[in-house]
Amino acid sequence: MRPSTLLIRAAARPASARAPHSADAAAPGAPCMSGARAAARRRASLPLAAATLALALVFASLSGCAAPAGAHLASAPLPTPGGASAPESDPSTDPGAPPLAGHSADREQDAAEDGARLVRTGPYYAELSESERASYLVIASAIESAEQKVVVDGSLGDDVLGRVLNAILFDRPDLFWFTGAATGSVSNGQTTLILDFSVDRNTLNAKRAALDAAVENIVSPLEGLSPAAQQKAAHDYIAQHVAYDPHGPQNGQTAYNALVEGKSVCAGYARAFQLVMIELGIPCSYVSGEAQGQQQFEEGAWTPHAWNIVEMDGHIYNVDVTWDDSPLFEQEAVLYTDFNMTDDDFAANHQRGEESAFLPACDGEPFDFEAAYGVDRARAAAEHLGIAVAGEASTAEEFQALMEEQAAAAEGFQTSFYLVVYGDDLVASLTDLWKEPVRSAFETQGFQGSITFNSTSQNVGGDAYLVRIAIGQGES
pLDDT tens by residue, 258-303:
999 999 999 999 999 999 999 999 999 999 999 987 555 556 788 9
Domains annotated on the chain, with CATH:
5-10+45-197 (no CATH), 205-381 (3.10.620), 389-473 (3.30.110)
Q: What is the pLDDT of residue 221?
A: 97
For residue 43, pLDDT over 50 is answered with: no
Rounded Cα gap, residues 312 and 174, in angstroms: 22
The least confident of 88-92, 118-122, 183-187 is 88-92
Helix orientation angle between 396-408 and 435-444, rounded to the nearest 10 degrees: 30
Q: Work out the pLDDT band at 475, boundaries 50, 70, 90.
A: low
Rounded Cα gap, residues 30 and 11, in angstroms: 34
The upper half-sphere exposure of residue 402, i.e. CA atoms within 13 Å in the direction of its Cβ, equals: 21
Rounded Cα gap, residues 100 and 107, in angstroms: 9
Q: Pick from 227, 232, 281, 212: which is nearest to 49 by CA?
A: 281
Q: What is the pLDDT of residue 327?
A: 85
pLDDT tens by residue, 314-333:
999 999 999 999 888 888 88
